[in-house]
Structure 1
């Protein structure tokens, strides 16, 4: 599927940014320009069903491999850096061998969709489609007004059917078997997706793991400076 992309900068190095579910390229409104200032040409993608990209025929075409195939079809191979947040981290890992970036950063990646009442429930994401600005603020008290406005716009543009495309993967082993390339995992504090035991497992598989203190799931919005500091020696 043809995806919409947004670009910042014109540097010789390339950085790829892949957002999470319900979001789009606008989530990177500060990260993109910051990387461009460091000499990157930054390409942020809208995943299928998100932002300005096309919609799939139904939930069955919103699986992790559908997203990963789209990345390979639309993004350049051999970028110096690739960053994926949440769902974007899951998708990036599945496309890694074909995209072949020099380095990868996974921000609170969705490599485990837990079961039960505290696990992944598609209907909770769909319910988020009707959340008010103040409700979003309640879940994300550290976000700026601009981030709240951006989130409202992104959620309005999101195809909620995509939430059901992940249901069959609840409880599945989605953890990468190895890092593949030098890879950083940046975690929220606490992370609801990567437990301390799972973080140790990832370190054993070759990942560098860092926690951004007191940050929520969307680290780059909760604590932009902390997020960029965690990446400082990777970018």
Structure 2
């Protein structure tokens, strides 16, 4: 995975995240934020498809307040990270990018991955760089996810991708329709973090190739259930603690699918977050952060 160039940012105020950039796989620029003591073991947060590192802000702040270093990453093609110039959106490439970020952190961080970020963590810790993680937290993702839920997420991301939005109100309405169990976004300015302005319209931040099937190398690994199960098997066989955090109203990880996963890997811890859907960290941030921190304490994962 080599040692990409590292470009530290400047913290403007005490407690504010410190942005930094690493050169990912193939030279793709990867943007991340750091909170807390840079000498402490890091908890590295990897977002889901269509999200950005900002989706972890409150959880990362809670982890940093407890003495950990918290690092949130924009995956390639998302947020402020570069779009892949050659359409490389293989999960293995996402994982290689994260490996370049980890090269600038203390050894053996904790990986926390939601959805696509969780699949990235599986391949990184269980296939590409065994032993790289001190613990792995999968957030509402298992290798054998519900295809109906996955299709719903894909449809949401594809809708309006080409045409964009005339206003931030339109964006807020669409998000509210997709997540009826959550309040309509009140801070319209906050939505700008998930959008890019072109001309007089707003567009989602992600690279359309990642969604519309035109990428030269799409993330086919997300449907390779056997490969992902093998990766998880190697992680737990190596004695690396693993936790599955599920949203009780998730349409991607049903109770049955969670139960099957836990029966296959009884070493894995489990937390079911009441009142949360697929966006667990955003739906119930208070319970999510506590669940992760309690797990690390119970498994005696220290923050040296």
Question: TM-score scaled by structure 2?
Answer: 0.67
Label 1:134 to 1:110 Cα distance change in 2 as closer, same or farther (>3 A): farther
Matched with 1:185 is 244
Q: Distance in 2 between matches of 1:170 and 1:103?
A: 21
- Contact 2:42–2:68 (CA<8 Å) still a contact in 1? yes
Matched with 2:61 is 33
Q: Distance in 1 between matches of 2:151 and 2:120?
A: 16
Label 1:128 to 1:20 Cα distance change in 2 as closer, same or farther (>3 A): farther
Using the TM superposition, give the Cα deviation of residue 135 of structure 1 relative to its aligned residue in structure 2, in angstroms: 1.7
CA-based RMSD: 2.7
Tell me the SS of whatever aligns to 2:30: coil
Tell me the SS of whatever aligns to 2:243: strand
Matched with 1:111 is 143
Tell me the SS of whatever aligns to 1:109: coil
Q: Distance in 1 between matches of 2:222 and 2:57?
A: 31
Tell me the SS of whatever aligns to 1:193: coil
- Contact 2:146–2:254 (CA<8 Å) still a contact in 1? no
Q: Which runs of 5+ in 2 are unaligned?
A: 1-23, 165-169, 196-203, 297-304
- Contact 1:114–1:170 (CA<8 Å) still a contact in 2? no
Matched with 1:89 is 118
Alignment pair present for 1:7 and 2:55: no
Q: Distance in 2 between matches of 1:147 and 1:212?
A: 25
Deviations, residues 146-173 of structure 1 (Å, cap 9, x unaligned)? 6765455324322121123557456431
1:132 to 147, 171, 181: 171
Using the TM superposition, give the Cα deviation of residue 193 of structure 1 relative to its aligned residue in structure 2, in angstroms: 2.2
Q: Distance in 2 between matches of 1:58 and 1:110?
A: 29
Tell me the SS of whatever aligns to 2:193: helix
Aligned length: 233
1:234 to 295, 298, 301: 295
Matched with 2:194 is 154
Q: Distance in 1 between matches of 2:232 and 2:270?
A: 15
Q: Highest Rg: 1 or 2? A: 2
- Contact 2:51–2:194 (CA<8 Å) still a contact in 1? yes
Q: Distance in 2 between matches of 1:220 and 1:162?
A: 23
Tell me the SS of whatever aligns to 1:6: strand
Matched with 1:120 is 151
Matched with 2:5 is none
